Chain A
Amino acid sequence: MVQLRPRSSRVPAPAEAMVDEDQLGPEEEEEAEHGLLLGQPSSGAAAEPLDEDDDDDAPEELTFACAQAEAREEELRVRESVRRDKTLLKEKRKRREELFIEQKKRKLLPDAVLEQLTTASEADIKKSQENVKVHLKKESEHIAKGRNSKKVKIQEVHSASQNKSYLAVRLKDQELRDSRQEAAKHFIHNCLYGSESKRTTVNKFLSLNNKRLPVKKAAAQFLNSTWGAQKQQNARRFKKRWMARKMKKKTYK
């Protein structure tokens, strides 16, 4: 078969050809490069001037060796850059880890206090024995009954100092407790003053008798001082200004 010189293709070379440097041979690489450069749909006369240079001149003479060397250099360069990137990333990760460890260390209490706490708790373990027993008993009861109790018993941490000035409590427990208390209060408010109950205001309740008298009297709290709050305020301000004006006139006279 006649080995035809591969013509510049009308379609640009596929992207894989460029990226996969290891598999591509030196010649193919060259061709691919060419392909990309000349990869434009030629429409007759427009494509001609580009092809002309190639067609007129003799093809470039590239020895296999130098092309191979070039390719190998290229490979090395790429490998180096990848290695550099990897080491850089590694370093970055290392630094971050160290930073995290430091932050965590900073968050914890100083060693001295921790030591004291552990020794103090060992000393007081007898005192809290009862408490723990009772509460553990409760916990076992809960588990035995299959209750899904999310609350963990509040472990009383006996402080290092003699005064026992603080008590360590889980915040989650307190929130749960508060939300349950709120729900209970809401329930009872709904029962007594909710939509189903027939409630009336104190004013109407007290005025009921006044309505049935032979001579009807006014309601118990007839005036509602909250009506027209803005108007009242305006009136007060006007009064102040008027008084001031009056005073000024008097002194002026």
Chain B
Amino acid sequence: MPIFNLSSFSKRLKDKEWGIRCVAYNNQSNRLAVSRTDGTVEIYNLSANYFQEKFFPGHESRATEALCWAEGQRLFSAGLNGEILEYDLQALNIKYALDAFGGPIWSMAASPSGSQLVVGCEDGSVKLFEVTPEKIQFARNFDRQKSRILSLSWHPAGTHIAAGSIDYISVFDVKSGSIIRKMVLDRQHLGVTKSRCIVWGVAFLSDGTVISVDSVGKVQLWDSATGTLVKSHLIANADVQSIAVADQEDSFVVGTAEGTVFHFQLVSVTSSSSEKQWVRTKPFQHHTHDVRTVAHSPTALISGGTDTHLVIRPLMEKVEVKNYDAALRKITFPHRRLISCSKRRQLLLFQFAHHLELWRLGSTLATGKNGDTLPLSKNADHLLHLKTKGPENIICSCVSQCGSWIAYSTASRFFLYRLKYEHDNISLQRVSKMPAFLQSAVHILFSEDSRKLFVASNQGSLHILHLLEGSFKHLHTFQPQSGTVEAMCLLAVSPDGNWLAASGTSAGVHVYDLNHLKLHCTVPAYNFPVTALAIAPNTNNLVIAHSDQQVFEFSIPDKQYTDWSRAVQKQGFHQLWLQRDTPITHISFHPKRPMHILLHDAYMFCIIDKALPLPNDKTVLYNPLPPKNESDVFLRRTAHAFKISKIYKPLLFMDLLDERTLVAVERPLDDIIAQLPPPIKKKKFGT
């Protein structure tokens, strides 16, 4: 099977805008909200193998600077456009945006009880908001300061607030709103005086200690009762940009602009004494660029920054069971599919934040042996560059199998285009007058014959449109089924056009009968979210991949799991298979070999051969390509169903175009790093 190596044009993901800006950890549901510099907010479920369940698309004018959870499960964000936004986690859209009338908002913090929110603004005012069941309500302003309020922190009792500004920290009393203490910082650093000292983060402990991190590189402990400096730690040559304190207040974590994350712990002075002090215990260097945000969960340190990685480092002393769960997790690649493929015309549609690109694949006439890289006789062609109208980001997109329809959706509009090909030229025509119910889609899919369009909207309903030449007709809408929205909806359609599978609710995967337009059956619910769905060509088996690396096969006509799936569940997957970091994002099938299933995640692609025996924990999972002169006995002994290949650099997409060709889109890590903003200079001896 000759394979085209497509690393000649790599996908430019505009990584400058993909850097992480803020992170907020919710203890109750063990979820992490991550906000990026382009305004996208992603929700990761840390207990479901760190899978990205939901996301809210970004907006050009939104520059989010602060993110916080309040009153349990409500998510708020505030940014430089001066507005406070609340996100609806069930409907997957923004509930409302409230202008705070203080100019750009730099920081936001929720009170320990969760019923109050306080924001720090550009004009130096600190505003208090009450969290009501539907909205938030402005309560009052605190004393106005001279310079912008860059960081805020509540006292655990909810009586005082520490606010970090430029060159000083102020402590407010919440009841009266007046300033009690003002602590002035020193701008000097080893003899070099900077023009200003910015307090990037503050934390208020219950014994009245205020911890501040500033741009000079110091971590300082102040006593808020007297306003004096207790201890000062100089930890970096560059800014220390973030701080997060654990709930038990015995440890906190800070992130610096050099990419180092330091862990501070409250340790007793001598082993027998009761006196304790804060000591810097562990440095972690997992980032190359600024660490703009950190969070402290009960068992792990979470950090994210400009280099777009999200690093979750479980702390060994807090983890009970020392198994693979205690390993470092680094989330770099998106957990959803951003590329769609048109098999008949050999086209690939790339989805970026503000535009779509359509490429035609190159071809080669040469032949070679296994493992060769063949030269291209016809280069890949950039057919279309489609820019979206408006400031919103694109949520999802799809190209039909015949290549003549493209559809994409933003948070408020849906776009459908018709493509016509004449002798190497392509013309685009927009289908205007979209129906009113089709506003924002979470997933879009075309049927195999390109006559029907399936749209999963964010309200939970599923729309089916019949596509005619240049226009469409609304066929049917499946109303939302019961169950809460657990994750983003995924769709899969069978090649013969009879069945449609939809996941996303807590009730399980629903399978709809398209001929009779009703619900056919529901796959039993599983407690981990679905990461990929696909229906096999002739057997109509639904293959589901979950975030804990389990793969199920469900027979739709029989309405039950297949025998092979039951056998796999009985034996269990190989240990190394379950320990993979990244979720499976795409499943496809070979048209002539019904026993093969192809799946891939970010670092490997695998062909599961259902005819071969399953591996148990003792066999080697990652078989290298057996050399030609190996004896048959050895081959028979080590052959098992999972054929895994890791020869590709990080994979974004892989699919079978036809029987003899496979397309793979890689995203090398070097390319990502090459486009990031400048890091802090490090001085190394001898250079």
Contacts and interface: CB of A to CB of B under 8 A. Distances in A.
Interface in B659-687: 670, 673-674, 676-682, 684, 686-687
A231 interface: no
B140 interface: yes
Contacts of A203: 674
Contacts of B144: 145, 147
Name, among A202, A206, A211, A221, the residue most crowded by chain B CB atoms within 10 Å (CB to CB): A202
B137 interface: yes
A217 B81 CA distance: 47
Contacts of B122: 180, 183-184
A141 B141 contact: yes
A180 B686 contact: no
Contact of B101 (A151, A187, A208): A151
Nearest to A177: B82
Interface string A178-206: 00110111010001110011111111111
A198 B141 contact: no
B676 A134 contact: no
B501 interface: no
A145 B238 CA distance: 38
B8 to A, nearest CB: 14
Interface residues of A, number: 36
B13 to A, nearest CB: 16
B238 A185 contact: no
Name, among A184, A200, A204, A212, the residue most crowded by chain B CB atoms within 10 Å (CB to CB): A184
A210 to B, nearest CB: 10
A137 interface: yes
Contacts of A147: 144
Interface in A122-145: 134, 137-138, 141-142, 145
Contacts of A154: 99
Label chain A's interface by main secondary structure.
Answer: helix
A134 B257 CA distance: 41
Given A177-B81, A196-B195, A198-B238, A205 B288 contact: yes
Nearest to A221: B674
Interface string A50-67: 000000000000000000
B687 A208 contact: yes
B104 A199 contact: no
B80 A184 contact: yes
Interface string B81-120: 1100000000000000001010110100000000000000
B673 A198 contact: no
Name, among B103, B288, B686, the residue most crowded by chain A CB atoms within 10 Å (CB to CB): B103
A220 interface: yes
B679 A138 contact: no
B186 to A, nearest CB: 16
A216 B183 CA distance: 50
B687 A202 contact: no
Contacts of A138: 101, 138
A199 B680 contact: yes
Interface of B: 61, 63, 80-82, 99, 101, 103-104, 106, 122, 137-138, 140-141, 144, 148, 194-195, 198, 215, 237-239, 257, 288, 290, 670, 673-674, 676-682, 684, 686-687
20 contacts: A142-B101, A180-B82, A180-B122, A181-B104, A184-B80, A184-B122, A191-B215, A191-B239, A193-B677, A196-B194, A198-B680, A199-B679, A199-B681, A200-B680, A200-B682, A202-B673, A205-B681, A206-B673, A211-B687, A220-B670
Interface of A: 134, 137-138, 141-142, 145, 147, 149, 151, 154, 177, 180-181, 183-185, 187, 191-193, 196-206, 208, 211-212, 220-221
The list of the 9 closest CB pairs from A to B, nearest first, reads A184-B104, A200-B681, A199-B678, A198-B681, A211-B687, A184-B80, A180-B103, A205-B679, A181-B80
